[in-house]
Amino acid sequence: FVLGSGIALIMLVCAPYLADWLMPGLQVSYTPLLVRMLRLGALATGLAVVVTYLVALANTERLYLPAVLVPALSYLGIAIAALLCAARMGVVSLLYGFLAGYLSAIAFLCGSLRTELLFAPRFREFRSLMVRTAGRLLPVALATTCFTSYPLIDAYWAPRAGNACLSYMGYAERLVIAIAGVVIVGPSMVCLPDLSRLAACGQCEDFLRRIEQLIRFTLTGCAAAACLFAVLRRPLIRLLLERGKFDPAATENLSALMPGMLLGMAAMAGTVLLFKALHARNDLWASAWLGIMWPALYFLICGLLVRPLGIHGLVTAYAVSWWITFLSAFWRLHAGKLDPRRRMYYAALTARLVISVCAAVSLGTGAANLIRPYLPLGRLGDLFSTTIVGPVVLATFLLVSIGALRNRAGSTGGCFITQPLTGRSFQSPGTT
């Protein structure tokens, strides 16, 4: 609570300076609105810190259902505020909805964790707790910069790529974050206690086997979701977003960005889980350096590519930066070396996932082109296309990947679905 209040206070004071830095060419008449929105965003940031802590505490206490449900409250608040107040208050209503959602999440989590929270500790206990926490706060805060800095980098480079590029990058990033969240929300909630136990007990081999299981689950799930959205990106974007000022031209522009963003999404989701593994192993400074490395890479690659490639340079920088960070975290977890059996396993997994993606995208695109002349126009046609082609894409991907992911021990690729749910031990290739 103290940390969230401090961050909010700093951002409240710095809001006018942030407005000048983020939007130097903004018309003077819009500056008060931007400062007001930044200050509301500062309050939301402070509340987000509190919510994040309470969610982590709920995971530690194995209260997984509240931890999964509360992130939706902020978005529910945005939706309700947009419906009730957008016509009268404009875009500011979204921030008020965000604040209301976070306040609701804090109230809900405090009620769920009322036996674990101590709201009024003695000063000495509080000081001792803050001293212990402060030593770990800096590396953890640095590690999260790779997940929090991209809006600032986009705000700096996107206006140089062309008109409305910042909006398109914002839409694309929010879509891939939502898709990745569907895949990793379960594993990310339950993997940290398990990995922490294995690391604390010194079970290095079991720890690495669990990492193999998480990587296979994450990459396979993200690849399946990416195939589905890549093939159906136009009808899905029309169904989700095309209304009001988001016209067909905006749909085409956003659709052109999604394949590259989906490529980066798989690495981003994998990096989230690998960072949790680094924290479980108490390797905080490694995750901190990797967290700093991503925004530095993203900023530099954007600067190199934004002029020749425009907004596609930003998309390329996004994907390349995440894959470099993912591979670096993977290399760190394996202490800079892989035994021959694991090296062969990961190489085979990569090749087989590429084959599955190519097969699913090719067959799905062919099916979409085949049925397009027979579909009605408008949203009804988009809905039919999604319901017909979507199962074809997923079935093709799963059939090819499950058949191809059979290892020497005889287990199939289907175990990436059941193992995180059942808790059964993972057997890597070549082990008996």
> Residue 424's pLDDT is what?
39
Distance CA 47, CA 314 (A): 30
Cβ-proximal residues to 204 (8 Å cutoff; 6+ apart), any chain: none
Tell whether the model's pLDDT for residue 422 goes beyond 50.
no
Mean pLDDT, to the nearest integer, of 218-242?
Answer: 91
Q: Are residues 99 and 185 in the same domain?
A: no
Cβ-proximal residues to 19 (8 Å cutoff; 6+ apart), any chain: 26, 31, 34, 35, 38
Q: Are residues 156 and 271 in the same domain?
A: yes
> Residue 329's pLDDT is what?
92
**Ranges 151-155, 215-219, 403-407: which has the least confidence:** 403-407
Count of C-beta atoms within a 10 Å radius of residue 175:
22
What is the chain's length? 432
Q: Are residues 102 and 130 in the same domain?
A: no
Find the helix or strand (DSSP H, E) in which 263 lies: helix 248-280
pLDDT band at 37 (very low <50, low <70, confident <90, very high): confident
> Residue 22's pLDDT is what?
65
> Residue 382's pLDDT is what?
84
69 vs 361, higher pLDDT: 361
Q: Are residues 269 and 359 in the same domain?
A: yes
User: For 278, what's the count of Cα atoms within 13 Å in the CB-facing half-sphere?
Assistant: 28
Tell whether the model's pLDDT for residue 298 goes beyond 90.
yes
Q: Are residues 192 and 62 in the same domain?
A: no
85-102 pLDDT, tens digit per residue, is: 888 888 888 888 888 888
Asked if the structure places residue 64 within a domain, the reply is: yes
Q: Are residues 156 and 113 in the same domain?
A: no
Is the separation of the CB atoms in 189 and 58 below 8 Å? no
Q: Which two tokens stand for residue 399?
A: 């059939």
Cβ-proximal residues to 129 (8 Å cutoff; 6+ apart), any chain: 121
Tell me the pLDDT of the chain averaged across its residues: 81
Asked if the structure places residue 331 within a domain, the reply is: yes
Distance CA 111, CA 69 (A): 14
Asked if the structure places residue 432 within a domain, the reply is: no
Q: Are residues 1 and 126 in the same domain?
A: no
> Residue 405's pLDDT is what?
52
> Residue 41's pLDDT is what?
81
Mean pLDDT, to the nearest integer, of 262-287?
Answer: 89
Q: Which of 120, 154, 169 is the last residue of a domain?
A: 120
Distance CA 133, CA 234 (A): 47
Which residue has 């136009």 as its token pair?
Answer: 234
Q: Are residues 2 and 96 in the same domain?
A: yes
> Residue 125's pLDDT is what?
65
Number of domains in the chain: 2
- Among residues of the chain, what percentage have pLDDT more than 90? 24
Q: Which two tokens stand for residue 234?
A: 């136009």
106-165 pLDDT, tens digit per residue, is: 888 888 887 776 655 566 666 676 677 766 777 887 888 888 888 889 988 998 888 889
**Ranges 9-18, 392-401, 404-413: which has the least confidence:** 404-413
Is the separation of the CB atoms in 294 and 152 below 8 Å? no
Exposed/middle/buried for residue 121 (C-beta within 10 Å: 0-12, 13-18, 19+):
exposed
> Residue 121's pLDDT is what?
57
Q: Are residues 217 and 228 in the same domain?
A: yes
> Residue 263's pLDDT is what?
94
> Residue 201's pLDDT is what?
84
Tell whether the model's pLDDT for residue 279 goes beyond 80.
yes
Asked if the structure places residue 341 within a domain, the reply is: yes
Owning domain of residue 97:
1-120
Q: Are residues 169 and 110 in the same domain?
A: no
pTM score, two decimals?
Answer: 0.74
> Residue 224's pLDDT is what?
93
Question: What is the phi-psi region of residue 120: left when phi exceeds 0, alpha when psi lies from -120 to 50, beta otherwise?
Answer: beta
Q: Are residues 89 and 178 in the same domain?
A: no
46-69 pLDDT, tens digit per residue, is: 888 888 888 878 877 777 777 778
Q: Are residues 304 and 185 in the same domain?
A: yes
> Residue 118's pLDDT is what?
62
